[in-house]
Structure 1
Amino acid sequence: MEFDVQYISFFVIQTDGEGTDSGKRFRHFQTMDGEDYEDSPLKEFLSGEFARIVKRKAERHPVSESVPTKIGRFRVEPGYEPDSNPDYNLLQRLRSADTAERFHSIADELVHIYMDTSAVRGGAFIAVQATLSKLFDTPFLFLLKCDFESKIARIADERSLISTVEMAISARSIKSIQYPHMPEEGMLEPWEVKIHQASHARYFEDFLKFVSYERPLPEVMGEQVLDMVQQYMTDKWQDDVSPLRKEEEEAVEIWAASDKRELLERWTPEQVYAASAVLVEQKEDLGLSFKLGGVQVKGLLTDFGQSLHFARHNGRYVAVIEGDFFQFERGISPVELLHPPELVQVMEVIGQASPQDEPTGLDSPGDGSNDSVAAGSGHENSAVNNEDDDVPW
Structure 2
Amino acid sequence: MEFNVKFLSFYVIEVEGSGDDASRHYKHYQTLDQEQFDESELKDFLDGELKKIVKRKAEHHPKSDQVPTKIGRFLTEADYPLDSNPNYALFQKTIRAETSDVFTEHSNTFAKLYTETAAVRGGVFLVASAVPKKYFSDEFVFILKCDFEPKVASISDESTLLRKIEYAITTKNMKSIQYPFMIEEGMVQPAELKIHQASHARYFQDFLAFVEYGDSVPVMMREQVKGMMTEHISESFAEESEEKVNWERSLDEWETSDKREINEHLETHQVVEASAQIVEQTPEARIQVKLGETEVKGLLADFGESLHIAKLNGRYVLIAEADELTFEKGATPVEFYKPEDIYSLIKKMNDRSAD
Specify the TM-score bucket, using the shorter chain as the normaliser.
0.7 to 0.9
Output the amino acid matched with 2:14.
Q
Give 1:16's aligned amino acid: E
The code of the aligned residue for 1:37 comes to: F
**Partner Cα distance (2:226, 2:36) in 1:** 58
Deviation of 1:68 (Å): 1.8
Cα distance in 2, alignment partners of residues 159 and 349 from structure 1: 81
Tell whether the 8 Å contact from 1:156 to 1:163 is kept in structure 2 after alignment. Answer: yes
SS of 1:13's equivalent in the other structure is strand
CA distance in 1, matches of 2:313, 2:163: 70
Q: Name 2:262's counterpart in structure 1.
A: 263
- Deviation sequence 1:341-382 (CA, Å, 0-9, x none): 5365765358959xxxxxxxxxxxxxxxxxxxxxxxxxxxxx
Structure 1 residue 130: Cα displacement = 0.5
Task: Calculate percent identity across the aligned residue pairs.
Answer: 45
CA contact (8 A) 2:54 2:178 kept: yes
Query: Which residues of 2 match residues 67-106 of structure 1 at below 5 A?
Result: 67-106=67-106
The letter for the 2-side match of 1:46 is: L
Give 1:320's aligned residue. 319
Instruction: Provide the residue aligned with 2:6 in structure 1.
Output: 6
2:221 matched residue in structure 1? 221
Shift of 1:177: 1.2
- Residue 274 (structure 1) shift: 2.5
CA contact (8 A) 2:152 2:165 kept: yes
Q: How many angstroms does 1:176 deviate by? A: 0.8
**Larger CA Rg, structure 1 vs 2:** 1
| 8 A contact 1:10–1:126 mirrored in 2 | yes
Question: Take 1:241 and 1:166, find their aligned partners in 2: how far apart are those partners?
Answer: 68
Q: Report Cα offsets for 1:274-304 as digits up to 9, x if no partner.
A: 2222221222111222322244433321333
Determine the C-alpha separation between the residues in 1 that align with 2:334 and 2:319: 18
CA distance in 2, matches of 1:127, 1:296: 47
Moved more, 244-253 or 207-216: 244-253
> What letter corresponds to residue 259 of structure 1 in structure 2?
D
Deviations 1:30-59 (A, max 9, x none): 211111111212112212222222222222
- 2:291 is matched with 292
Residue 154 (structure 1) aligns with:
154
Q: 1:333 to 1:31 in 2, by over 3 A?
A: same
- Structure-2 change in CA distance of 1:166 and 1:350 (3 Å): farther
Change (3 A) 1:138 1:241: closer
- What is the aligned partner in structure 2 of residue 193 from structure 1? 193
* Deviations, residues 197-228 of structure 1 (Å, cap 9, x unaligned): 12112233321112222333323333333333
| TM-score, L = length of structure 1 | 0.78
Alpha-carbon shift at residue 105 of structure 1 (Å): 2.6
Q: Deviations over 1:296-318 (max 9, x none)?
A: 43332133344433222232212
CA shift, 1:135, in A, is 2.8
Contact 1:155 1:163 in 2 (8 A): yes
3-state SS, counterpart of residue 326 of structure 2:
coil
1:278 corresponding residue in structure 2 = 277
Q: Label 1:197 to 1:242 Cα distance change in 2 as closer, same or farther (>3 A).
A: closer
Q: Give the Cα separation in 2 of the matches to 1:149 and 1:67.
A: 24
1:121-152: per-residue Cα shift (whole Å, max 9, x none)?
A: 12111110111253352521101001112343
Q: Does 1:40 align with 2:37?
A: no
Q: Residues 340 and 3 from structure 1, CA distance in 2 versus in 1: closer, same or farther, beyond 3 angstroms?
A: same
- Cα–Cα, structure 1 residues 74 and 340, in superposed 2: closer, same or farther, change >3 Å? same
Kindly report the root-mean-square deviation, in angstroms, between the aligned alpha carbons of the 2 structures: 3.0
Deviation string for 1:37-94 (max 9, x for gaps)? 1121211221222222222222222334332222222222222212222222222222
Letter matched to residue 95 of structure 2: R
Deviation at 1:263, TM superposition (A): 1.0
Tell me, in whole angstroms, the C-alpha distance in 2 between the residues paired with 1:150 and 1:342. Answer: 63
Q: 1:195 is aligned with what amino acid?
A: I
Contact 1:146 1:174 in 2 (8 A): yes
Q: The residue matched to 2:275 in structure 1 has which SS?
A: helix
CA distance, structure 2, for counterparts of residue 105 and residue 244 of structure 1: 63
Q: Would you tell me which structure has more strand in proportion to its own residues? A: 2
Against the structure 1 CA distance between its residues 15 and 315, is the aligned structure 2 distance closer, same or farther, given a 3 Å change threshold?
A: same
Between 1 and 2, higher relative CO (CA 8 Å, sep ≥ 6) is seen in 2
SS at match of 2:172: helix
**Partner in structure 1 of residue 340 of structure 2:** 342
Structure 2's unaligned 5+ residue stretches are none
TM-score, length-normalised on structure 2?
A: 0.85
